[in-house]
Amino acid sequence: MAHPPRENDGQPLHGVGRVLDSRWMMAFSVLAVLVAIAWALAERGPTAGRAGTPAPEITMSTVELLGVPKGAEVSLDGRQIDNTLFGVASGTRHALEVTDPNGRSWRQVFLAEGSLSLVVELRTHFVEVQVTPSAPGAGQD
């Protein structure tokens, strides 16, 4: 059996306002929790997770190349550098190569510790080839 229409049909009930109020309270509670988490993380700081492990201290060694001729190319670990005075991390092994436009070169591998001066002495590399002489006119047709 159907109920007869009432005066308040189609109008919102008073309970709807309470539902909206509880939603706002829930949103405020979630926001408060997020702010508390952010506050706790900010107080902890960026290094708190690594407590007990000191940051490694990187010391630098100074390397100076003496006797590098003008126009020579200097490369450190395969990369060209523009200076004859440079810094590298201490305790590491490096390879230096100096080559001039005439084809002379110098190579050195070193372990970086403290300050280091290296004297560059460019040399021409010779290749020995054995040739067996042949009789005159033997190879000519």
Looking at the structure, tell me whether residues 66 and 114 fall in a common domain.
yes
Tell whether 86 is covered by a domain.
yes
Main-chain dihedrals φ then ψ at residue 32, nearest 5 degrees: -65, -40
60 CB-near residues (< 8 Å, 6+ apart): 87, 88, 89, 90
Q: Write out the two tokens for 25.
A: 């309270």
pLDDT, tens digit, 9 for 90 and up, residues 70-87: 889 999 999 999 888 999
What's residue 13's pLDDT? 58
pLDDT over 70, % of the chain: 72
d(CA 2, CA 59): 90
Residue type, 72: A
Tell whether 136 is covered by a domain.
no
**Which alpha helices (H) appear in 1-141, and where do they start and end?**
15-44
Comparing 1 with 111, which gets the higher pLDDT? 111
Looking at the structure, tell me whether residues 72 and 113 fall in a common domain.
yes
Q: Write out the two tokens for 63.
A: 């390397």
Looking at the structure, tell me whether residues 34 and 82 fall in a common domain.
no
Q: What is the pTM of this model?
A: 0.48
Looking at the structure, tell me whether residues 75 and 107 fall in a common domain.
yes
Comparing 120 with 137, which gets the higher pLDDT? 120
Residue 49 has pLDDT above 70, yes or no: no
Tell whether 40 is covered by a domain.
yes
Confidence of residue 27 (pLDDT cuts 50, 70, 90): confident
Q: Write out the two tokens for 131.
A: 């040739």
Tell whether 53 is covered by a domain.
no
Range of the domain at 97: 60-119
d(CA 106, CA 66): 12
Q: Write out the two tokens for 129.
A: 């080839």
Looking at the structure, tell me whether residues 29 and 74 fall in a common domain.
no
Please count the structural domains in the chain.
2
What's residue 29's pLDDT? 87
120 CB-near residues (< 8 Å, 6+ apart): 65, 66, 67, 68, 72, 98, 106
Looking at the structure, tell me whether residues 39 and 72 fall in a common domain.
no
What's residue 11's pLDDT? 61
Looking at the structure, tell me whether residues 114 and 64 fall in a common domain.
yes
Using alpha carbons, select from 76, 58, 63 the residue that is nearest to residue 114: 63
Confidence of residue 96 (pLDDT cuts 50, 70, 90): very high
What's residue 72's pLDDT? 92
Looking at the structure, tell me whether residues 73 and 34 fall in a common domain.
no
